[in-house]
Amino acid sequence: MNKKHVKAGTILLASLSVVATAGCGAATNANSGSTNQASGTASSTNSAASASGSNNVVNINFWYGIGGNLSNDVQKMVQQFNASHPDMHVTATYQGSYSGGGPEQQKLLAALAAGNPPDIAQIEVNSMGVFANSGKLMDLTSFMNQSSVDNPNNFLKGMLVSTEWNGKYYGVPLNRSVPVLFYNKTLFDKAGIQGPPKTWDELAVDAKKLTTGTGSSKVYGYGPLVDWWPWESMVWSSGSEILSSNMQKALFNTPELDRVLSLQQSLVKNGDAYAETGSNYWNLMTEDFIKGKIAMDIDSIGDAAEVQQGVGSNFQWGTAYLPSDKTLNVPPGGGDMAIMNGLPASHVKAAETFIEWWTAPTQTLEWSKMTGYLPVQQAAVQEPSYQTYLQQNPQFKTAIDELQFQKAAPASSHLLDVLKYAQQGLQGIFDEGKSVQSQMAQAASQANSLLGN
């Protein structure tokens, strides 16, 4: 799917301990596809060495999990690196979706357990705990502190919230996004609404005003994204927390969160909002906005380029901060690059060089304009050319400004499991119309059982 954030319709969870106890059979099965791919890349590696006229080329492997056109964009970036670094060669391989528990993560966990991982891998932002806690990732703190490019002070505020684990850095931002509110300005003007809603109550009022028509021509005021990613922001905006500070108890089962979810569920039940279901729910929701079927939705800023192209001149649209009640906090989205532990020194150096190249202002700007992802460096955003770009495309500036409200997800190695239960609860609420209170209570109970309570 050509999406820029993690998709987790039903999160397939794995932990390193589970993979390890599964034995060689699981590792072999999980890596069967990548083994075939590796045999295909060997010739390109040898060709690169021959083209350079030297057998001293350091070859490193990079696994990533963003597909479709984005995979092509990754390959373009890698080709540029290889062309400008004749003594190094990166082989980038798409391993399936990098979403929470997706194929790329499953393969990486299996490869780590089997002792044959790639040199570099994309780690989904909420999955850092699973991998860093395993001890299989290289501590990048010293590298980053000494780097003129990837020094922590060089990144945009909030950009590193997903890269730390127990006070150390284990990742460097690769493809990063935040959720924002997309709204149809043309429909807002027709409804006499002056601007996007700032609170959930305002969103509910606006959604009712924006809903018009019947049957196939009906326009719904709002399209909720039935996904744990914006749910994280809803928890925080209600004044609640996902987990306790000691990571031992789920704290999201609160009347305040229930109110936010009940408000949205009521809009769906009353016909003022439309929730997409099924495994392709995210793509369908984005298409609903592009086609003018829904007037508002919460989506990744990484989908802004797709929306811009799809909408064209059909209507005017914009982006805004997420609605909130007590406070505004948004979760990080996307993925980071991590280097595996135990590599030869030459591979570590090549991997660090590749990461520095990718995240340098010139490349991060190119990547951002190419894909819609956020540039990660302060210097990149301050570039006059990018400031001009933002003036011409103000929808993209919202995400840059919203970064100041970014909040790290709980630093728990069980986070993906907790989010799986939340996702199941959300699907019960919006897909099946079940009670908000019962679904969130069940999700919290399942999480607490996992956490030992």
Which pLDDT does position 68 carry in this prediction?
Answer: 84
Specify whether 445 is located in the same domain as 351. Answer: no
**Residue 141 CB-density burial (10 A; 0-12 exposed, 13-18 middle, 19+ buried):** middle
Which pLDDT does position 19 carry in this prediction?
Answer: 35
- How many whole angstroms separate alpha carbon 139 and alpha carbon 44? 30
Could you tell me the residue range of the domain that residue 275 belongs to?
Answer: 179-330+414-451
DSSP 349-394: HHHHHHHHHHHSHHHHHHHHHHHSPPP-BHHHHTSHHHHHHHHH-G
Helices (H) and strands (E) in the chain, counts: 19, 10
- Give the DSSP H/E element, type plus range, for residue 164: strand 164-165
Specify whether 325 is located in the same domain as 193. Answer: yes
Which pLDDT does position 36 carry in this prediction?
Answer: 33
**Assigned domain for 409 exists:** no
Q: Are strands 88-94 and 58-64 parallel, antiparallel or unpaired?
A: parallel
For the chain, what's the residue count?
453
Specify whether 208 is located in the same domain as 224. Answer: yes
- How many whole angstroms separate alpha carbon 272 and alpha carbon 221? 6
Specify whether 287 is located in the same domain as 298. Answer: yes
Distance of CA 368 to the CA centre of its chain: 14
The pTM for the full model equals 0.84
Which pLDDT does position 14 carry in this prediction?
Answer: 39
Which residues are 62's β-sheet partners? 92, 120
How many independent structural domains does the chain possess? Answer: 2
3-state SS string for 18-43: HHHHHHHHHHHHHCHHHHHHHHHHHH
Which pLDDT does position 214 carry in this prediction?
Answer: 94
Residue with tokens 């990547």: 367
Residue with tokens 């950009």: 159
- How many whole angstroms separate alpha carbon 6 and alpha carbon 65? 10
Which pLDDT does position 41 carry in this prediction?
Answer: 38
**Side chain identity at 249, as an amino acid letter?**
K
Which regions in the chain score pLDDT beneath 70?
1-55, 100-101, 453
Which pLDDT does position 38 carry in this prediction?
Answer: 34
Specify whether 325 is located in the same domain as 378. Answer: no
Specify whether 186 is located in the same domain as 107. Answer: no
**Assigned domain for 10 exists:** no
**Assigned domain for 266 exists:** yes
Specify whether 294 is located in the same domain as 264. Answer: yes
Specify whether 425 is located in the same domain as 283. Answer: yes
Which pLDDT does position 102 carry in this prediction?
Answer: 80
Residue with tokens 């990149």: 380
- How many whole angstroms separate alpha carbon 418 and alpha carbon 127? 12
For 156, phi then psi, to 5°, come to -60, 150
Which pLDDT does position 322 carry in this prediction?
Answer: 98
Residue with tokens 């908000």: 436
Specify whether 63 is located in the same domain as 152. Answer: yes
Specify whether 258 is located in the same domain as 342. Answer: no
Which pLDDT does position 7 carry in this prediction?
Answer: 41
Q: Of 355, 377, 375, which is closest to residue 366 (Cα–Cα)?
A: 375
Which pLDDT does position 130 carry in this prediction?
Answer: 82
First-to-final CA distance of the chain = 37
Taking only the tens place, the pLDDT of each residue in 338-364 is 999 999 999 999 999 999 999 999 999
Specify whether 229 is located in the same domain as 283. Answer: yes
The chain-wide mean pLDDT, for the chain, equals 87
- How many whole angstroms separate alpha carbon 81 and alpha carbon 75? 10
- How many whole angstroms separate alpha carbon 325 and alpha carbon 260? 9
**Assigned domain for 3 exists:** no
Specify whether 162 is located in the same domain as 196. Answer: no
Which pLDDT does position 100 carry in this prediction?
Answer: 65
Residue 124: give its domain's CATH number.
Answer: 3.40.190.10
Residue 221 in 3-state DSSP? coil
